[in-house]
Amino acid sequence: MKIKIISIITFAAISSLLSCKKFIANDPPKNSLVPASVFQNPDLATAALLGIYQQMATSGFSSNDASSISTVCGLTADEFIGHSPVLQIAYQNLIIPENQTITGIWTGIYTRLYDANALLEGLNSANAIATPIKSQLQGEAYFIRAFCYYYLVNLYGDVPLILTANYKANSSSPKIPADKIYTQILADLQMAANLLGENYPKNERVRANKAATQALLARVYLYLGDWENAEKYSTLVINRSSTYKLLALDAIFLKSSQESIWQLMPNPNANSPASFLIIPGTAAPSQASLRSDFATQAFETGDQRKTAWVKSMMANGVTYYYPYKYRAVIAANTPVTEYTMVLRLAEQVLIRAEARARQNKLSDAIDDLDLIRNRATLPLIKNTSPGISQNDLLDAITRERRVELFGEWGDRWFTLKRTNKLNATLTGLKPNWKSNYVLFPIPFAELKNNTSIKQNEGY
């Protein structure tokens, strides 16, 4: 693994962070690591962590912009249409190893991994920081590392496992099998859960707490087919009913909403999350829009999510649809009202519904599914299909995930992959679709820098 521009919270950047109440954008120097002096001061060490969150929120794979996982995976699946030349490549499933968007996702994730590793290494020898603060920072760093590897392994399959900030030592790291990556993800999340408390460090939900680690554990166990643990950890989150609630559809994506388990704070000097997808005026969309078949056919009659979360406009006689989960297109330096949602309660309810259905706990699974359907003002399964079969219930849960979580962190792409429905869904729908496209290609620049890595099959 050789990343030429390493992450990179410098002393100057940290000092700048400390001078602000909110995260701000900083352009860090190249090839610099967190200086040791940072870990002699709890405020500086905390600012180093906040710098990682800030970078996640405002750039690359996790930013919710046109180059993010949410957009790219929505294009490669069956959610979005690409209109710009760059996004059409993902929409048409014509991604090649030289593709800059895929390279940016890979590099962005590994850059954040180096951030987390540098923080963990510095904290391990930070004797001047009190144990409660140190544990909090370590727990969040472990969580971030697990979060990054979760996306790496699902996008690229076998990948290098980097657990140190010594990038020169990692420059020839080979691929590690995906199951070993998952073992590390689980270990990091368990460590994070042990270190983090129930409360958020501040009033807002922009830093990880114990519930965030348990929510990600629930998702990881679901992906691994460990239904019992998926149910266990989602239940731990759902049972915190005084902290996490299913909200009205127009309140979910507001900052610090009670449905949020973890959010990212967007750049206060830029537009709100995913505002590039909102189509103003009468001009045709220039980047991406929702597929018309998704917008018009995926939702059941009477589903209030279609009314609240899907909007349309007409240009040159063509109707275009766009997501409206995030609504505020704001001017710079005006208050930000929406934060980027990363983990929320509705997903945990759907995770538990599926985990229970897989264990043949059909009645309990129906109850969970009906919580989501009730909010959307849809007929309840317990009334319309009380004797539903296990397979039909699982299909219903998959359909519910599609309309509840569309446009959020590639959930549709990953759901189709893990349920082995990607080929059946996209064959015919996508003329260029090939079965090997279930994994993205390893970037050409990475193969050139690290000859220990082999390209994914078919590229």
Domain CATH code at residue 165: 1.25.40
pLDDT tens, position by position, 68-98: 999 999 999 999 999 999 999 999 999 999 9
The reported pLDDT for the residue numbered 31 is: 38
Section 48-52 average pLDDT: 96
Eight-state DSSP code of residue 258? T
List beta partners, residue 53.
Answer: none
% of the chain surpassing 90 pLDDT: 79
pLDDT tens, position by position, 382-436: 999 999 999 999 999 999 999 999 999 999 999 999 999 999 999 999 989 999 9
Residue 6: pLDDT over 70: no
Chain centre to alpha carbon of residue 273: 13
Q: Lowest-pLDDT range, 69-78, 121-130, 279-288?
A: 279-288
The CA-based angle 70-71-76, given to 5 degrees, is 100
- Domain range for residue 144? 1-176+190-196
Distance CA 34, CA 118 (A): 7
Report residue 280's pLDDT band, with 50, 70 and 90 as the boundaries. low
Report if residue 334 sits inside a domain.
Answer: no
Report if residue 420 sits inside a domain.
Answer: no
**Token pair of 114, please?**
């180096």
Report if residue 295 sits inside a domain.
Answer: no
Q: Half-sphere exposure of 173 toward its Cβ, with a 13 Å CA cutoff?
A: 21
Give 147's contacts (C-beta < 8 A, 6+ positions apart): 216
The reported pLDDT for the residue numbered 5 is: 35
Give the strands of the sheet with 80-82, arranged side by side. Answer: 80-82, 288-290, 318-323, 310-315
Report residue 275's pLDDT band, with 50, 70 and 90 as the boundaries. low
Report if residue 403 sits inside a domain.
Answer: no
Section 113-134 average pLDDT: 95
Please say whether the beta carbons of 85 and 288 come within 8 A.
no
The reported pLDDT for the residue numbered 312 is: 94
The reported pLDDT for the residue numbered 332 is: 63
Report if residue 159 sits inside a domain.
Answer: yes
pLDDT tens, position by position, 148-191: 999 999 999 999 999 999 878 788 999 999 999 999 999 999 99
Residue 308: pLDDT over 80: yes
Distance CA 223, CA 207 (A): 24
Report if residue 85 sits inside a domain.
Answer: yes
For residues 76 and 267, the model is more confident at 76
The reported pLDDT for the residue numbered 18 is: 40
Q: What's the mean pLDDT when you consider all of the chain?
A: 90
Q: Confirm whether pTM is higher than 0.75.
A: yes
Report if residue 436 sits inside a domain.
Answer: no
Residue with tokens 């460990």: 226
The reported pLDDT for the residue numbered 20 is: 38
For residues 223 and 19, the model is more confident at 223
Report residue 329's pLDDT band, with 50, 70 and 90 as the boundaries. low
CA dihedral 441→322→340→354, nearest 10 degrees, is -70
AA letter at 232: K
The reported pLDDT for the residue numbered 34 is: 64
The reported pLDDT for the residue numbered 286 is: 87
For residues 281 and 294, the model is more confident at 294
Handedness of CA 50, 105, 310, 404 (dihedral sign): negative
Report if residue 444 sits inside a domain.
Answer: no
% of the chain surpassing 70 pLDDT: 89
Total number of domains in the chain: 1
Residue with tokens 């760093």: 141
Report residue 27's pLDDT band, with 50, 70 and 90 as the boundaries. very low
pLDDT tens, position by position, 338-372: 999 999 999 999 999 999 999 999 999 999 999 99
Section 233-239 average pLDDT: 99
State the helix-helix crossing angle for 42-58 and 11-18, rounded to 10 degrees. 90
The reported pLDDT for the residue numbered 391 is: 99
Q: Half-sphere exposure of 160 toward its Cβ, with a 13 Å CA cutoff?
A: 28
Report residue 58's pLDDT band, with 50, 70 and 90 as the boundaries. confident
The reported pLDDT for the residue numbered 60 is: 80
